[in-house]
Amino acid sequence: MLRTELDIVTFGDLLHHYPYRYADRSQIVRIGFIDPRADYIQIQGTLVNITEEGEGRKKRLVATLYDDTGRIDLLWFQGAQWMKKSLKQGEKYLVYGKLNAFNGILNIPHPEIEPLNAETASPGRQPMYPTTEKLRVRGLTNRSFAKLTYALLEKVKPGDVSEILPANLLNQYRLCGRYYALRWLHFPDTEEHEQAARRRMKWEELFLSQMMIARLRLQHTAQAGWRFDTVGEHFNGFFRNHLPFALTNAQKRVLREIRQDTATGKQMNRLLQGDVGSGKTIVALMSMLLALDNGFQACIMAPTEILAQQHYYSIAGLLEQMNIPVRLLTGSVKGKPRKEILQQLEEGTLPIVVGTHALLEDGVRFRNLGLAVIDEQHRFGVGQRARLWQKNEMPPHMLVMTATPIPRTLAMTMYGDLDVSVIDELPPGRQPIKTIFARDMQRAKVMEFMRKEVDLGRQVYVVYPLIEESEKVDYESLMAGYEQVKVFFDENRYRIAMVHGRQDAAERERNMQRFVKGEAHVLVATTVIEVGVNVPNASVMLIESAERFGLSQLHQLRGRVGRGAEQSYCILMAGSKISEESYKRLQIMVSTNDGFRIAEEDLALRGPGDMHGTQQSGVLKFKIADIVQDSAIMEETRLAAQELLATDPTLSLVQHQPLRYALAQQRKESHWGRIS
């Protein structure tokens, strides 16, 4: 249970299950004197009237605790059965919990409760641990955690906890030793000790991650790569005769960086950041042509079938007159065509392949893959980058493209091992998208506006949220929304396409293509269209229940319009009941088109765990550090890691052995594996 719920297996894990705050349990309040404004309170008394109330899902267990000044109800909505069995009428209990009020009457839902005796009488200051409802109702309360940990710490001697940071770092950065840090983190006797312990453990955590990144970087720089020393007919011919527009200065600069990188004889590992619509695709294409000029194959991998298809069509279109074969390989390419593609890749007769994860399968072998481009990196697990690496004896050059601007602190952690290029300039002639906040009740007006745009020859998107936890309800509202759109867009005059995740790939694709080709005026969709889709004629993006999206996600969606020369609009629709905070977030969207600013705000508001796509990355799971609040420590650890590796790049000095071991350990546990 501890394992499945909190991933705690060993005593060590228990010691590293840190409290998130401390409760003052030195006070016991008399029930009649409870201050209704109090937050957490501790009381003691006799338990009576243990009864189950309500029916079905509303069933709850109510028990009344009284002392000689008054009484209060304790409530359990979950685990009622189990609690009922473990509580005894007429016994004395010590109770700690968060005060709640219902219709003006005080109660305590899901309190910590234990029989009152000499041992439990006065707990004092108590660490509060993250726990789960499941554990709690089984009696593994916070208090049990505290007791377990306390008992464990009693047995642990300073010598049992090995220090992993070298002594000179402890001195230089004024960090307390590991043994005391662990003790004080759980049971600090003073505020200073608590602070010192927290700082130390945060420092350690961030330092280990920065060490991993720095070592990966060292590995990269040592990694031999193909030398692209020719700029030949593919690249130049395309540039001269087929490029449909002039490159922006930013695009030119990035291409120069890529050319320099690939000419050194070392493997390129480059992250290309560019806001939505900044024109990354053409940079990817021209880099691939460079690979071709040097006798290599190239591939580009996208996270979804729709995106892969889009890339395929636009790349095949651009190369049409150049007689360069390009093919698309996704999960739905099967049978003979698939066999043919695999064969051509292996023979080397197919120079460019566009695809999805399907490219990673073992059956896909290249004759000489020189460059792999990964679009929209977030959607790929970190390990997947590594699998492309292994397609060759010598790893291909890697170009990772992302449209989500990443705050610096986050980038340092997620991509610190990569060199970074930035396209910080949009193609000329774009008008900034106008973003409008609208309430549900203005819907008729909004729809009328959209119809007008369509009558002017444009296309519009209507996007609905879809999250796993409320999938069923979300699909219902998507369907209801579709019906509603039909009311405003008469079927005799307008054509509406719909795409969502429950359609099979072929149907989704058919609908998508209707919109891409301009046959459908309106596209009703879930967030499957979030990244990369390019329909320059679309001028309005209506986002329903906008408050349910993350800022970065909204920014991505907004980026689907404003791709042509027309003035484009993004309408954020929200119900009347949204919170103050949601309103503030949406106002950020209204006030700026700057993806970097939005990303910073998003990170500050929601933390990295929620940032678009970072959940899957597996490299951001910090136990105690917070990359927003602890960015100063992060910077310290980054420098410290660099300095340490400058003096001992292979970690062979005696004083670095514990650190080396800790890193090896961490590498095994986390998903780092071999990152490209």
Residues of the shown chain interacting with ligand ADP in the complex, contacts defined by CB under 6 A: 245, 247-248, 251, 274, 276-282, 403, 427, 534, 536, 563
Which of the choices ligand ADP, Mg ion, none does residue 177 contact, using the CB cut-off of 5 to 8 A by kind? none
Which of the choices ligand ADP, Mg ion, none does residue 404 contact, using the CB cut-off of 5 to 8 A by kind? none
Rounded to a whole number of angstroms, the minimum distance from the CB of residue 37 to Mg ion is 53
Distance CA 237, CA 241 (A): 6
Closest residue to bound Mg ion by CB: 532
Residue among 141 and 539 whose Cβ is closer to ligand ADP: 539
Which of the choices ligand ADP, Mg ion, none does residue 670 contact, using the CB cut-off of 5 to 8 A by kind? none
Residue among 278 and 676 whose Cβ is closer to Mg ion: 278
The DSSP letter of residue 623 is S
Rounded to a whole number of angstroms, the minimum distance from the CB of residue 276 to Mg ion is 7
Candidate ranges 171-179, 527-535, 557-565, 627-635; the one touching Mg ion (CB under 5 A): 527-535
SS3 11: helix
Residue among 45 and 532 whose Cβ is closer to Mg ion: 532
For Mg ion (CB under 5 A), the number of binding residues is 1
222 is written with which tokens?
A: 């040592």
Tell which residue, 228, 182, 203, has the closest CA to residue 16.
182
Is residue 532 within the footprint of Mg ion (CB under 5 A)?
A: yes
Residue among 376 and 602 whose Cβ is closer to ligand ADP: 376
Strand order across the 434-439 sheet: 434-439, 569-574, 538-543, 459-463, 522-525, 496-499
Which of the choices ligand ADP, Mg ion, none does residue 536 contact, using the CB cut-off of 5 to 8 A by kind? ligand ADP
Distance CA 548, CA 477 (A): 13
Tell which residue, 194, 192, 163, has the closest CA to residue 18.
194
348 and 638 Cβ atoms separated by less than 8 Å? no
Rounded to a whole number of angstroms, the minimum distance from the CB of residue 322 to ligand ADP is 17
Strand partners, 543: 463, 572
474 is written with which tokens?
A: 């979300």
> Most distant CA pair in the chain: distance in Å?
94
Residue among 314 and 666 whose Cβ is closer to Mg ion: 314
Candidate ranges 361-369, 405-413, 524-532, 650-658; the one touching Mg ion (CB under 5 A): 524-532
Distance CA 192, CA 198 (A): 10
* 588 Cβ contact list (under 8 Å, min separation 6): 551, 597, 598, 601
Rounded to a whole number of angstroms, the minimum distance from the CB of residue 281 to Mg ion is 5
Residue among 535 and 633 whose Cβ is closer to ligand ADP: 535
SS3 296: coil
Candidate ranges 5-13, 431-439, 525-533, 663-671; the one touching Mg ion (CB under 5 A): 525-533
Rounded to a whole number of angstroms, the minimum distance from the CB of residue 371 to ligand ADP is 17
Distance CA 116, CA 92 (A): 6
Which of the choices Mg ion, ligand ADP, none does residue 617 contact, using the CB cut-off of 5 to 8 A by kind? none
Q: Are strands 105-109 and 70-76 parallel, antiparallel or unpaired?
A: parallel
DSSP state string for 93-147: EEEEEE-EEETTEEEEES-EEEE--TTTS--EEEEE----HHHHHTT--HHHHHH
Rounded to a whole number of angstroms, the minimum distance from the CB of residue 601 to Mg ion is 23
Which of the choices Mg ion, ligand ADP, none does residue 315 contact, using the CB cut-off of 5 to 8 A by kind? none
**CA dist 299 → 278, 292, 394, 664 (Å):** 21, 11, 15, 33
Residue among 356 and 392 whose Cβ is closer to ligand ADP: 356
Closest residue to bound ligand ADP by CB: 279
Rounded to a whole number of angstroms, the minimum distance from the CB of residue 666 to ligand ADP is 35
Tell which residue, 483, 135, 532, 480, has the closest CA to residue 309.
532
Which of the choices Mg ion, ligand ADP, none does residue 278 contact, using the CB cut-off of 5 to 8 A by kind? ligand ADP
How far from chain centre, in Å, is Cα 83? Answer: 37
Q: Angle CA(207)–CA(653)–CA(632) in degrees, nearest 5? A: 15
Residue among 43 and 403 whose Cβ is closer to ligand ADP: 403
Residue among 247 and 605 whose Cβ is closer to ligand ADP: 247
Residue among 165 and 463 whose Cβ is closer to Mg ion: 463
Rounded to a whole number of angstroms, the minimum distance from the CB of residue 595 to ligand ADP is 11
Which of the choices ligand ADP, Mg ion, none does residue 511 contact, using the CB cut-off of 5 to 8 A by kind? none
Is residue 303 within the footprint of Mg ion (CB under 5 A)?
A: no
Instruction: Sort 562 into a burial class: Cβ within 10 Å, 0-12 / 13-18 / 19+.
Output: buried
Rounded to a whole number of angstroms, the minimum distance from the CB of residue 518 to Mg ion is 20
Residue among 383 and 427 whose Cβ is closer to ligand ADP: 427
Rounded to a whole number of angstroms, the minimum distance from the CB of residue 571 to ligand ADP is 21
Which of the choices ligand ADP, Mg ion, none does residue 583 contact, using the CB cut-off of 5 to 8 A by kind? none
Is residue 274 within the footprint of Mg ion (CB under 5 A)?
A: no
Which of the choices Mg ion, ligand ADP, none does residue 78 contact, using the CB cut-off of 5 to 8 A by kind? none
Residue among 70 and 427 whose Cβ is closer to ligand ADP: 427
**CA dist 484 → 437, 480, 491 (Å):** 20, 6, 12
* 367 Cβ contact list (under 8 Å, min separation 6): 297, 345, 346, 347, 348
Rounded to a whole number of angstroms, the minimum distance from the CB of residue 299 to ligand ADP is 17
Rounded to a whole number of angstroms, the minimum distance from the CB of residue 637 to Mg ion is 33
User: How many C-beta atoms lie closer than 10 Å to residue 490's C-beta?
Assistant: 9
Q: Which residues of 590-626 are buried (b: 16+ CB within 10 A; e: fewer)?
A: eeebebbbbbbbbbeebebeebbbbeebebbebebbb
Residue among 536 and 673 whose Cβ is closer to ligand ADP: 536
Which of the choices ligand ADP, Mg ion, none does residue 247 contact, using the CB cut-off of 5 to 8 A by kind? ligand ADP
Rounded to a whole number of angstroms, the minimum distance from the CB of residue 240 to ligand ADP is 16
Distance CA 11, CA 508 (A): 50
Residue 326, φ and ψ in degrees, nearest 5: -135, 140
Residue among 62 and 247 whose Cβ is closer to ligand ADP: 247
List of residues contacting Mg ion (CB under 5 A): 532
